[in-house]
Chains A and B, each alone.
Chain A
């Protein structure tokens, strides 16, 4: 049966969704499992002429560093095996293992995406629901504020927020600057992504309020709070999840863009965007550093595609008639 607005697709689409889930899960498991190891290795430089070579299966060539701190023989067998993996995807121009940067980089990007989405969802839901529920002039003013904030150029605001917040926050955290930088990054991205959420939620609440079952609940003498908690919020879950799935890849993309500008994740912390941006900057006509571009950009694009496919599938399931795409 074809319902109006049913955008579910069969066959190919289902396969795509399954593939996306598999890819994301595989990336997640691999990077999470190796995290204890990669956290210690992601910024280790292995110096010497050899490191500027393409990926290799023979880790010894990259080990003629000027002061060999770790020789493979000193390591436990498991670590030795992991260590051998360091040159599978080659090294970057600083002599750091691409693999060991990609793995935590994926997690960091994912974390930024999730955290920004969480901020956007919380703020947006709160704002939108409040505006719709209170109504009247409050609603008008709150939505006017959203309109105004929409008028601000996104990228400029992220940069200004980042510059303004980094110092106070790192002072607050007692000099934990790397952490402060990360927090500021996703707060800044989240703080500019909640606007659409607020609009969506407000629209949803307004239309829900007009529904017979809310009228019925009200007629039955349910309190405002009860109506909110028992009737409105459960019905908001769908659109909110759908929107969140859109925000996550967007935030990852924004981070990559900021990294390209040199103000994303601070060095030496890796992220997919940072790595892709580094790779793009190394494009030249003299030497082909293909592995610096192909691997990070590949992982970035695969991740984003998988997330978008997943978000699409979720949208089809939860909110088939949504025009959400138009708001992004």
Chain B
């Protein structure tokens, strides 16, 4: 068991190292001056001195230095926002994104699973059809459209929520709901497919033949099996939700991490790009390991394959 955990861990470290190397190459390859901010240009000498200051005049040295820092969990200064270190930026944004993301995933599971189970049980009924249609729309709506619609209706016209920004609990529901919609759709879909599969299988027939109540058959037996694919989807989904969605953040003015993925790339802020990517990759690896552990716990047969 310990051996397995260790091997998973070392694989994770290798993955992280590769992620770092790939991102680094891309960051070096993109043209643009991270220090230049406005329309006014700095003199070449000034830029040269700044590059020297951060050792960006020598890519290999920079590669090693950043890596050494990253191992100590120090992602160095941000080049665009010079007054802040990448650690501070990520530390201020990550909890915000995590809060919204976690809430979104919770909503998605709480809403998506029952919908999926119901539509599978009441197969081909109007309920199933409506759910299917809603799920389709949910998957097909870009979040920025949904977000803007919610904002316009509930914040601007009904004044139920503040228009944007961050700081109180009232700022939380709209972004979380917007972010959860595509996840609800996927989870409902997955649950439905899994449930149909399970309900049609032999052991359920046996259970029904034994005379167990529908409720017990559905929730105690079929759902256990049907939940597995949902669980494996939750790993990457949670990583995605926790690191924030730029669209949701932009629409609602949430100061989360998603904006930095986009802005750092647009600003050519090498340090912040690398920091964000490493945090994201680490989060993904850890969550996948957690999900695998849960998987193995639920179904001991699978553990060998983990």
Contact = CB atoms under 8 A, between A and B. Distances in A.
A and B touch in the complex (CB under 8 A): yes
Contacts of A6: 196, 200
B142 A263 contact: no
B111 interface: no
A94 interface: no
A151 B15 contact: yes
Find the residue from B22, B29, B145, B151 having the highest chain A CB count within 10 A. Answer: B145
A297 B145 contact: yes
Contacts of A256: 142, 144
Contacts of A285: 156
* Interface of A (DSSP majority class): helix
Contacts, number: 156
Interface in A1-17: 2-7, 9-13, 16
A163 B265 CA distance: 9
Interface stretch (A41-49, A76-84, A154-162): A154-162
Interface in B2-51: 14-16, 18-19, 22-23, 26-27, 29-32
Given A155-B261, A326-B232, A328-B186, A305 B193 contact: no
A256 B22 CA distance: 26
Contacts of A144: 14-15
Q: How large is the interface on B (under 10, 10 to 19, 20 to 34, 35 or more residues)?
A: 35 or more
B280 interface: yes
A167 to B, nearest CB: 7
Interface of A: 2-7, 9-13, 16, 144-145, 147-153, 155-157, 159-161, 163-164, 167, 249, 253, 256-257, 260-261, 263, 273, 276-277, 280, 283, 285, 293, 297, 300-301, 304-305, 307-309, 312, 321, 323, 325-326, 328
B285 A151 contact: yes
A147 B22 CA distance: 13
Contacts of A3: 200
6 contacts: A7-B193, A151-B281, A160-B26, A163-B30, A325-B190, A326-B233
A321 to B, nearest CB: 7
A261 B144 CA distance: 10
Given A151-B16, A257-B142, A283-B152, A305 B137 contact: yes
B139 A260 contact: no
Contacts of A280: 144-145, 148, 251
B261 A257 contact: no
A148 B18 contact: yes
B109 interface: no
Interface in B216-259: 229-230, 232-233, 236, 243, 246-247, 250-251
* Interface of B (DSSP majority class): helix
Contacts of A163: 30-32, 265
Contacts of A157: 26
A121 to B, nearest CB: 20
B70 to A, nearest CB: 15
Contact of B281 (A152, A249, A273): A152
B57 interface: no
Given A151-B284, A253-B142, A280-B144, A261 B200 contact: no
Q: 3 closest A-B pairs (Cβ-Cβ)?
A: A304-B140, A4-B200, A12-B129
A153 B261 CA distance: 8
A153 B246 CA distance: 12
B132 interface: yes
B280 A16 contact: no
B276 interface: yes
Given A7-B196, A9-B128, A153-B280, 16 more contacts: A6-B200, A151-B15, A153-B243, A153-B261, A153-B276, A160-B26, A163-B31, A164-B31, A253-B140, A256-B144, A273-B142, A276-B142, A280-B145, A283-B151, A304-B141, A325-B189
Contacts of B23: 152
A263 B273 contact: no
A12 B152 CA distance: 33
B133 interface: yes
Contacts of A147: 15
Contacts of A293: 148
A249 B138 CA distance: 13
B83 interface: no
A160 B136 contact: no
Contact of B142 (A7, A150, A153, A300): A300
A160 B30 contact: yes
B136 A309 contact: yes
Nearest to B14: A144
A321 B197 contact: yes
Find the residue from B18, B139, B190, B247 having the highest chain A CB count within 10 A. Answer: B139
A261 B142 contact: no
A5 B197 contact: yes
A56 B139 CA distance: 33
Interface string B47-79: 000000000000000000000000000000000
B266 interface: yes
Contacts of B123: 9
A161 B265 CA distance: 10
Contacts of A145: 18
A138 B128 CA distance: 45
Contact of A261 (B15, B18, B246): B246
A201 B144 CA distance: 33
A151 B200 contact: no
